[in-house]
Structure 1
Amino acid sequence: MLSSSMVSSYLSPYLSFLVLASPLVVIPGPDFAVVSRNTLNGGRRRGTWSAVGVASSTTLYGILAAVGLGSVIMSMRPVFEGIRWAGIAYLALLGFQAFRSAWKRDYATLELGIDPAGPTGSQGWLQGFLSNVGNPKILVFYLAVLPQFLDQEAPMPVVLAFAFTHALLSLAYLVLLVCGIHQARSVLSRPGVRRLLDLATGTALVGFGIKLALE
């Protein structure tokens, strides 16, 4: 258990971390593109599960950083590069799927309101998780940023609180995105609009993959 004095000592750094992390989660990235496309393809359920998948991978990286395994992964160059290139390949695959949808223009099921995600939206969760877990920059973020707010003696619950806060901020923003897209889905699901959105999403996903490959 943390004492009240210990909690108060980390309150100011925590608030400073919130100020830094809050704007970062709204910067469009692969998670934005994947969650948006899943919402358009499968409705609010699939979009929400996709957002949960993104937050799950962020939480995983936060835990790895908190327990010290993050620095181990960073020091093992082949492992780090393997994660990075797997993420690049997966973003390219998702981009190809978006381009294929735009080419085929098969949006009949969307107009009928059919949810291809099934009862659990597991496909949406998997896409959200894999698109984000393949981006090791999240791990770099934790390893580079958390030491700016926490000393080496910070207890594990405090470190996890910082990491989980970042994941929850991301989840909250993506759920709001899902709700906004779902409200406009009747307009956004029109074949002509969907084709333009698929082309834009595919371009964004491939672009994010290329950017990740060049960094």
Structure 2
Amino acid sequence: MDLHNIITFIAVATLLVISPGPNGFLIAKTVPMSGQKAGFANVGGFVAAFYVHGTLSIFGISILLVQSAIAFTLFKMLGAAYLIWIGIKSIRSAINQKAITNISFPKEKQKKISIRNAFFEGFVTNVLNPKVSMFYLAAFPQFISLESNAFSAYSLVSAHALVNFIWFSIMVLALSRVKSISNSAKFKKWLNSITGVVFIGFGAKLALMKSS
């Protein structure tokens, strides 16, 4: 695999990573609520999921998602249900935050997500997203020749993971610098409400997605 293919793939992967999606909104929800470490745990989950999708694509298992309507539907509905569940949790948190504010407990703390659970949220959000598998299935034939080995394929997965890590790490660091805003009860209520609606929207969109 030549340098030109690698650079082209990185450019395509970068466009995919920086486009609005569940990952960015998950980071935007996690960091103000649970801190910088939880945000980086989200990112670690994203990266781990990419290697799962990459491995499945390299060994041809992900082709089932494209060739089998039942497998694709089951997989996307699991992913959609998970995204909608995160959305519902966020909206419930917004409602609880409003109730706490109305009862006037100004120092009541929002329950923070653990590092392990933050990693799990990032991992599951991506590993149950068939769009990632479809991206690899579409990209690998264009950037890897038939003579290439698994190492070449994993180098592309690593490039994608690195772009993802850099972009979302910047987002985590940026969000962690606005603590005065993110500690506001009104901001947390607004953020939970917005992210809840957005995640439900992403889940509905995924549920309606058709296999190409």
Normalised to the residue count of structure 2, the TM-score between the two structures is 0.88
Amino acid at match of 1:50: N
> Aligned ranges for residues 82-101 of structure 1 at < 5 Å?
82-101=74-93
Question: Is 1:28–2:24 an aligned residue pair?
Answer: no
**Superposition deviation, residue 75 in structure 1:** 2.5
Find the counterpart in structure 1 of residue 66 from structure 2.
74
Q: Measure the CA separation in 1 of the matches of 2:177 and 2:167.
A: 16
Q: Distance in 2 between matches of 1:109 and 1:47?
A: 27
Aligned to 1:116: 112
Structure 1 partner of 2:203: 209
Pair 1:155 & 2:149 matched = yes
* Residue in structure 2 matching 1:51, options 30, 38, 43: 43
Shift of 1:195: 1.2
Q: Distance in 1 between matches of 2:108 and 2:33?
A: 12
Structure 1 outlier segments of 4+, above 4 Å: 106-115
**Residue pair 1:55, 1:171 contacting (<8 A) in 2 also:** yes
| Structure 1 residue 111 displacement after superposition | 6.4
Paired-residue identity, %: 26
Is the Cα–Cα contact under 8 Å of residues 111 and 189 in structure 1 kept in the other structure? no
Quick check: 1:43–1:115 contact (8 Å CA) kept in 2?
no
Letter in 1 for 2:57: A
Q: Say how many residue pairs are matched.
A: 205
Structure 1 residues 192 and 152, CA gap change in structure 2 (3 angstroms): same
The alpha-carbon deviation at position 116 of structure 1 amounts to: 2.8
Task: Tell me if structure 2 keeps the 8 A contact 1:110–1:189.
Answer: no
Contact 1:61-1:138 at 8 Å conserved across structures: yes
Counterparts of 1:109 and 1:129, CA distance in 2: 34
From 38, 54, 69, the counterpart of 1:62: 54
Alignment partners' CA distance in 2, 1:110 and 1:204 = 28
Q: Tell me, what secondary structure is at the counterpart of 1:69?
A: coil
In the alignment, the residues of structure 2 paired with residue 50 and residue 109 of structure 1 have an alpha-carbon distance, to the nearest angstrom, of: 30
Is it true that 1:17 corresponds to 2:17 in the alignment?
Answer: no
Matching residue's letter, 1:28:
P
Relative to structure 1, the CA distance from residue 54 to residue 110 in structure 2 (aligned partners, 3 Å threshold; closer, same or farther) is farther
Q: Which residue number corresponds to residue 6 of structure 1? A: none
**Separation in 1, partners of 2:106, 2:33:** 7
SS at match of 2:71: helix
Q: Which runs of 5 or more residues in structure 1 are unaligned?
A: 1-8
1:117-163 CA-partner distances (Å, limit 9, x unpaired): 44xx0010011111111111100001012211222221110111011
Q: Is the 8 A contact 2:9 2:143 kept in 1?
A: yes
Residue 25 of structure 2 corresponds to residue 40 of structure 1: no
> TM-score, normalising length from structure 1?
0.87
Residues 65, 71 of structure 1: 8 Å contact kept = yes
Compare 77-86 and 87-96 and name the one that shifted more: 77-86
* Contact persistence 1:62–1:142 (CA under 8 A): yes
Structure 1 residue 214, shift from structure 2 partner: 1.4
In structure 2, what is the equivalent of residue 4 of structure 1?
Answer: none
Q: CA deviation at 1:67?
A: 2.2
